[in-house]
Structure 1
Amino acid sequence: MHKSTSSKRKSFRLYAIVSTALVGVGAAAALAAGITPATASSLAQNADTQVAVFMIPLTLLVLALLFEVTRTAMRGTLPVDSKPRRPSRLNWTPGNGEG
């Protein structure tokens, strides 16, 4: 019988569960430490903090993009998943003898 879930899909599920748990633990720790959105907004009055809040995620995004491009380039040629599509007939009319 054919397995419907690949091992890569299962490992992604594990990463999703672990990352969700880490976010939950981080949120619980922040609330336990007394950090709420109201108190966090007072920290963001400083210009340096505002720049860091914007630049850190942006830098991580660019680094992730560079990592993926490098990983794809180092892999070699791109795999061919399917055959090219056959061109469709534009002058088709019902009853022209092909069925």
Structure 2
Amino acid sequence: MQTTPSRGRKSLKIKVAIASGFAVALGLSGALLAGVTPALAADLAAQPDAQVAVFMVPLTILVLTMMFEVSRYVWRNRIPASVPPRRRVTNWSAPKQR
């Protein structure tokens, strides 16, 4: 008899999607309440420190995310075992004549 896959993963994906959407809405409303407008953001981005932060923060998050995914992959023992290459059979002697 075939077993059905667990449905726990789908509900987790939905919860993560809802939580991330809520976080975006919360961040947007917080920025609007703080008075951050595109003109003010452009003035802030003219400063070198802000330009470095705008570039480095997403890059750092990307690197940390990749490190997390690699460690998660390794933690589950899914790294394939290395297989030695096949030995190539070569016959360097001249063919035998009958």
Deviation at 1:3, TM superposition (A): 6.6
Deviation at 1:38, TM superposition (A): 1.1
* 1:74 aligned partner, one-letter code: W
The reply on whether 1:26 has 2:27 as its aligned counterpart is: yes
Size of the aligned set, in residue pairs, is: 78
Partner-residue secondary structure (3-state), 1:59: helix
Equivalent in the alignment of 1:9: 10
The reply on whether 1:38 has 2:39 as its aligned counterpart is: yes
Deviation at 1:75, TM superposition (A): 1.0
TM-score between the two structures when normalised by the length of structure 2: 0.70
Partner-residue secondary structure (3-state), 1:77: coil
Gaps of 5+ in 1: 80-99
Separation in 2, partners of 1:32, 1:56? 23
Identity of aligned residues (%): 44
Larger radius of gyration: 2
Equivalent in the alignment of 2:68: 67
Deviation at 1:77, TM superposition (A): 2.9
Equivalent in the alignment of 1:84: none
Moved over 6 A (4+): 2-5
Q: Deviations over 1:16-58 (max 9, x none)?
A: 1011011111101111111111111101111111011111111
Gaps of 5+ in 2: 81-98
